[in-house]
Structure 1
């Protein structure tokens, strides 16, 4: 291995996104390894920049190499397999190296730099008055001495308030009075606590007390506490011994005790007492599934398995026993759960089985908590990671299984660059580790089920509930008939009867509506004006709690107008229904019942999910109203009724997956009913009783739904038969964005023409369904192509050419291959 490092620069544009070679100076040989962060001089000005070492090549074709200045990590932050993954992600998702690297590291691990001014001991410290210096220079040096002989550049500048401060610092540096050092620190660090410990053996301390040399009772109390413990935090000693800091400082001054900083782990679950649980006896179907999947794990080869199990069939117990098997084989496991399903109940099921051998990773943790959980994995102190999408990058070194629960969930696809799918990342990692990739769902995605039917992956089916209970009975209500018969309530008469019965019997109900807020929009009945967001071409949603209209895309908000902003009419009011309004209507219809709501508006605070779910469970609240947050991952034995208020609301979205999402959501939310000993009932309200996705969901008939949906996909050329690329061209000027979109189409056509068309279909440019977001106009191209590799290769070249040609125009190109959201 030579003295050359190949690095990529952090946070750079596509223009500079490539590997650069640097020399490793002798003093850093052995410290520079693949996966560590370093500081390198970059560009003509040799500005220090953070970089990641990807490899140590034996030779280079470049000359005049610069030297690495500093190594920031003792151990690599990127594993060997993660480095390989980064290289693949750059091409697959048409992003920069740094975009891919950021995905693999916890937020806050980035480096921040500070310029620190240090005073040199050249006579000024010992005898400041002997030096003949200008007033401003002396002022700076005096401030440095006051700060302990060193101070951060900006802090010193503010403290001294000297004009032309940088010039004086340069003069002091040239004169040898100060030195300037760049200090690099991580934005998030290990948490430490100051502790005290005995500096002498216990026998000597006892002798000092008995001989009377230590007389004060406060000091004796402290020493007695420390003789019983290896160390105690300073804060605890002061609280429990009822002493001041000066008592401890005196003991330290005379050599009886000393201080040190001890790291403490930020554990988000430390306040909870979780009882250990034992594996349940598998049902016959679970036993067959376990045997089959364990056989695949034993083969030490990459393999994929789809577990298609109805709601309540015991998929989680299956996961737990497979993970235990993997751990016993000396290997590790990652379990992905959709963010909205990653409830305390879910986490506790895993912690009760694996105790401290598990790390949890999700967005509701603080930066420090996430960093500590990541380090537990990195340092090999746990063998299981449970988390949302980003947990797929957990830095395990010997993976045996990756489990993706509710694999159909759209939250497993990133909506920001790089627009990766967790399943694709999982495939790469499992291939590297020769591990098994397990997909689990009651409603698998059409693409995954298609692969299972074609024999590309193994299929395991669980068709019975683990508690031997039947699936809930389903009643469909045609809301058109309700309206014709004079019922103008948002609740059908059937649902009202079922809610009333549920309340009287002391049972619980869940009401599902996939729209938060109080009303969909605010409309003037005189002139037809709809209040829209000034940044996005989308109607504002009315929220009754604080009488505000809010944009759910950019967050823009205004007070609800009392009269029409356009014509001045007082006949302006809200229309449509959201979860807030449902909650209010329930309180009117059933004044004696208790109601709780769970949506994005009620779960913005840390632990708010947990508090709502705990209240619903422990206080036996009659009804929970919510959006898709309540549709998955919850197990409430006393919930016997589920009401779906607008089953067809998702069908009217301009997306080829609308039918699939409708079927999945109805099936999943219906599966919350009857999970205990009492049979469940489901009431589905819809204006479209004939749609095959709703009909199939009511019958719990996945096979019937899939059979019809796959025929439509094949006929229209949608995945899994063709790959789709969505290109969004956005800009602050509508005209410039449209012009750029037309130029982009020409680039795409030119590249495909060189490949003789490659069976491609290009649609657009046309306006996006949401035409403006955050003051940026949006145009889109839709490309269909059978060969994914060709599509990726072409769009990578198009993206490079786009940014080279855009000049000073404020336009951006977003590329998403096989998107889950066409809006």
Structure 2
């Protein structure tokens, strides 16, 4: 149980005390209620009346006192669930304040499993009655049951009947006669404790130094350490030592992964190290698993949780360590609803709990490196691959000099490398971060492009599904028989490649190669992803064609050749992190090659081989690239050397939206170093049927950006139908 349980802390509120209850709704804050005569403390879950319904909320503290007591309603009974720990409540308040989100909206993420607050259904078993009747009628079958139970612990009706060799009706008859009685048994724990005595991996001297530093940090208060290791350097085994140290102290551990549903190899590695599987937390879990996991975390039974970003808001009873693997990954940024970055919030959660945080990456973010250089984070470097493996050779393929044949997408250089890999019995990978068959479909007669009616986006052809699909709202159609603009028949042409088209070309070139496509469309759920990864590991696949999910830390010993079909994709546009993100992603993709004794080769098909990103990848000069990026950001006071926030206004009526945006613009804040850009149509000016306008607010690091935004937004109330979303520290600019 959490430290704030009733057994260790006296009641805080009694009788008719005024209390504040925070509800998991996007409201301004906690509402005042009266106690219902029972003892309550902050963190208790209670039912509270709201309008004509009852809502489960959390006692947040004493009431504000600005409402007459006669107008206050009483809360319902306290729920028999572990109270929400103080550190979790502090974390919710902190996230709400930082992101300018309603505290109730953040609380909803912590109360994401309402059924976990309901009383747990116990297991019913049968045992000998403590007060049996004096002269029960006994038959031979009944005697078998009594004799069997005398030597056994309480059993279910079915199990007891099986042990005695009788029918269940005999057992139930003995219960009705009073010879046997039912008893409620505690539910068995869903999660077995990790085995800390299992053999550990053999660590290199550099790994051992890093592991020793992490182990020393466990139990020593708040700290942040960055494991900066090249791909294949064994970062996971290093932080497993810190996990073991935290478990040895009886604490819980949280490990955040960017794509938990695609992490079968990580889960298998954990099981080999600790003998059991960790608790998992992600959107693919069923309702029963989510309920049991949430409850086990709150009661301290789940010792290790591996999860996606939402796992940060689980009510840990005694969290002792937070690990963020692949800390650079953009998947840690939550865009919808409450906008937050899980890496940064993990550090905040660690600070509030007084525990260490560990970040790990082969391509650390510029924000993390700035914290290292500022002395706020400790650097633990792993410069070499584990077990003598060497980093792959990376080569830029200049498409101006070595282009693919007309109508194809693979350069002869890449094709030759694939031939050599297959001839040697090795595996290869082709990477293109573009789903579907073709990103654009247009009419050859008039040039009309098929566009989503609800979004500012072209429809993407998915030939395998026979559909044109919008990747933003899900709208889909079949290919029209004639152009809606000029009515020409059979005039549509697919323009550009997606992974399906690259796979089609590869299958044509290598008809005997066993090929698979790995995208979010083909890997629906953890099971499908695990099967594909297993097939690759067992060499049932020769060529893997995929999007960015193929770069998620997989280890395939026979994978020696990686071809990046369009290395320039992602370099253009108004994203201040475009170069950094492209370097990170291509480094991770390249890192899949040559991870065992066979050396790897990586080919980057590019029209810009002289681009700083391509030069850094080919020469291995990551640090100088990061230094250059840092200098560019510092010169223009952009994050992490300045502060940035986005205001996204959206609504169904473009004229109404523009009017509100103009009013906000007139009230925009001013000051030294503060600039407000906009309003302007967002690059995705129409999304799911809603028009979108954007402001960007730039300020010095010394500025209290949240306070500035609150003052600004308080001056203008959005009209009905218009939504205002605040994104502090934005990572995407769509």
TM-score by length of 2: 0.90
Task: Give 1:594-613 correspondences, 5 Å limit.
Answer: 594-605=514-525, 607-613=527-533
Task: Give 1:633-712 correspondences, 5 Å limit.
Answer: 633-712=553-632
Maintained 8 Å contact 2:644/2:730: yes
Q: CA RMSD in A?
A: 3.2
Residue deviations 1:684-725 (CA, integer Å, cap 9, x gap): 112221211122122332102112211221233321121111
Task: Give 1:227-626 correspondences, 5 Å limit.
Answer: 229-233=152-156, 246=169, 249-255=172-178, 257-258=180-181, 277-297=198-218, 300-339=220-259, 342-356=262-276, 358-483=278-403, 486=405, 488-569=407-488, 570-605=490-525, 607-626=527-546
Task: Give 1:80-229 correspondences, 5 Å limit.
Answer: 80-109=86-115, 186=118, 190=120, 195-200=124-129, 213-215=138-140, 229=152
Q: Distance in 1 between matches of 2:143 and 2:558?
A: 58
Maintained 8 Å contact 1:334/1:394: no
Q: Secondary structure at the match of 2:344?
A: helix
Q: Secondary structure at the match of 1:770?
A: strand
Maintained 8 Å contact 1:274/1:351: no
| Counterpart among 773, 777, 781 of residue 691 in structure 2 | 777
Residue deviations 1:356-392 (CA, integer Å, cap 9, x gap): 5842222222122122122222212243222221222
Query: What is the aligned residue count?
Result: 719
Is it true that 1:806 corresponds to 2:714 in the alignment? no
Q: Which residue of 2 aligns with 1:145?
A: none
Q: Secondary structure at the match of 1:532?
A: coil
Q: Distance in 1 between matches of 2:303 and 2:648?
A: 41
1:568–1:35 Cα change, 3 Å: same
Residue deviations 1:579-599 (CA, integer Å, cap 9, x gap): 222222222111111111211
Q: Distance in 1 between matches of 2:188 and 2:519?
A: 31
Q: Secondary structure at the match of 2:628?
A: helix
Task: Give 1:32-47 correspondences, 5 Å limit.
Answer: 32-42=40-50
Q: Distance in 1 between matches of 2:422 and 2:150?
A: 60
Instruction: Please report how far the alpha carbon of residue 25 of structure 1 lies from its aligned counterpart in structure 2 after TM superposition.
Output: 3.4
Q: Distance in 2 between matches of 1:191 and 1:475?
A: 60
Instruction: Please report how far the alpha carbon of residue 647 of structure 1 lies from its aligned counterpart in structure 2 after TM superposition.
Output: 0.9
1:40–1:275 Cα change, 3 Å: closer
Q: Distance in 2 between matches of 1:108 and 1:51?
A: 10
Q: Distance in 2 between matches of 1:572 and 1:487?
A: 19
Maintained 8 Å contact 1:337/1:389: yes
Q: Secondary structure at the match of 2:508?
A: helix
Instruction: Please report how far the alpha carbon of residue 529 of structure 1 lies from its aligned counterpart in structure 2 after TM superposition.
Output: 0.7
Q: Distance in 2 between matches of 1:227 and 1:807?
A: 73
Maintained 8 Å contact 1:357/1:382: no
Maintained 8 Å contact 1:359/1:376: no
1:265–1:444 Cα change, 3 Å: farther
Instruction: Please report how far the alpha carbon of residue 434 of structure 1 lies from its aligned counterpart in structure 2 after TM superposition.
Output: 2.1
Maintained 8 Å contact 2:682/2:694: yes
Q: Secondary structure at the match of 1:531?
A: coil
Q: Which residue of 2 aligns with 1:68?
A: 74
Q: Which residue of 2 aligns with 1:149?
A: none
Q: Distance in 1 between matches of 2:192 and 2:628?
A: 46
Higher RCO, Cα 8 Å, sep 6+: 2
Instruction: Please report how far the alpha carbon of residue 669 of structure 1 lies from its aligned counterpart in structure 2 after TM superposition.
Output: 0.9
Q: Distance in 2 between matches of 1:10 and 1:468?
A: 55
Q: Distance in 1 between matches of 2:380 and 2:278?
A: 27
| Counterpart among 715, 728, 733 of residue 817 in structure 1 | 728
Maintained 8 Å contact 1:799/1:813: no
Q: Which residue of 2 aligns with 1:25?
A: 36
- What runs of 5+ residues in structure 2 fail to find an aligned partner? 1-11
Residue deviations 1:499-531 (CA, integer Å, cap 9, x gap): 122222222222211111111121101111111
Instruction: Please report how far the alpha carbon of residue 789 of structure 1 lies from its aligned counterpart in structure 2 after TM superposition.
Output: 5.3
Q: Secondary structure at the match of 1:467?
A: helix
- What runs of 5+ residues in structure 1 fail to find an aligned partner? 111-184
Instruction: Please report how far the alpha carbon of residue 75 of structure 1 lies from its aligned counterpart in structure 2 after TM superposition.
Output: 3.9
Question: Rg bigger for which structure?
Answer: 1
TM-score by length of 1: 0.81
Instruction: Please report how far the alpha carbon of residue 50 of structure 1 lies from its aligned counterpart in structure 2 after TM superposition.
Output: 3.2
Greater mean deviation of Cα atoms: 440-449 or 373-382: 373-382
1:379–1:573 Cα change, 3 Å: same
Instruction: Please report how far the alpha carbon of residue 806 of structure 1 lies from its aligned counterpart in structure 2 after TM superposition.
Output: 2.8
Greater mean deviation of Cα atoms: 398-407 or 85-94: 398-407
Q: Which residue of 1 aligns with 2:674?
A: 760
Q: Secondary structure at the match of 1:21?
A: strand
| Counterpart among 643, 648, 658 of residue 723 in structure 1 | 643
Q: Distance in 2 between matches of 1:447 and 1:573?
A: 43
| Counterpart among 47, 52, 56 of residue 50 in structure 1 | 56
Maintained 8 Å contact 2:441/2:449: yes
Q: Distance in 1 between matches of 2:614 and 2:146?
A: 73
Maintained 8 Å contact 1:359/1:374: no
Maintained 8 Å contact 2:192/2:276: no
Q: Distance in 2 between matches of 1:652 and 1:266?
A: 51
Maintained 8 Å contact 1:267/1:369: no
Instruction: Please report how far the alpha carbon of residue 535 of structure 1 lies from its aligned counterpart in structure 2 after TM superposition.
Output: 1.0
Maintained 8 Å contact 1:478/1:685: yes
Greater mean deviation of Cα atoms: 687-696 or 339-348: 339-348
1:213–1:60 Cα change, 3 Å: same
Maintained 8 Å contact 2:211/2:242: yes
Instruction: Please report how far the alpha carbon of residue 215 of structure 1 lies from its aligned counterpart in structure 2 after TM superposition.
Output: 4.5
Q: Which residue of 1 aligns with 2:3?
A: none
Instruction: Please report how far the alpha carbon of residue 260 of structure 1 lies from its aligned counterpart in structure 2 after TM superposition.
Output: 5.7
Maintained 8 Å contact 1:36/1:71: no
1:11–1:275 Cα change, 3 Å: closer
Maintained 8 Å contact 1:308/1:459: yes
Q: Distance in 2 between matches of 1:596 and 1:190?
A: 44
1:12–1:382 Cα change, 3 Å: closer
Maintained 8 Å contact 1:323/1:401: yes
Residue deviations 1:88-139 (CA, integer Å, cap 9, x gap): 22221111121111222343448xxxxxxxxxxxxxxxxxxxxxxxxxxxxx
Q: Distance in 2 between matches of 1:234 and 1:523?
A: 68
| Counterpart among 9, 15, 20 of residue 7 in structure 1 | 20
Greater mean deviation of Cα atoms: 691-700 or 532-541: 691-700
Instruction: Please report how far the alpha carbon of residue 67 of structure 1 lies from its aligned counterpart in structure 2 after TM superposition.
Output: 4.7
Maintained 8 Å contact 2:85/2:317: yes
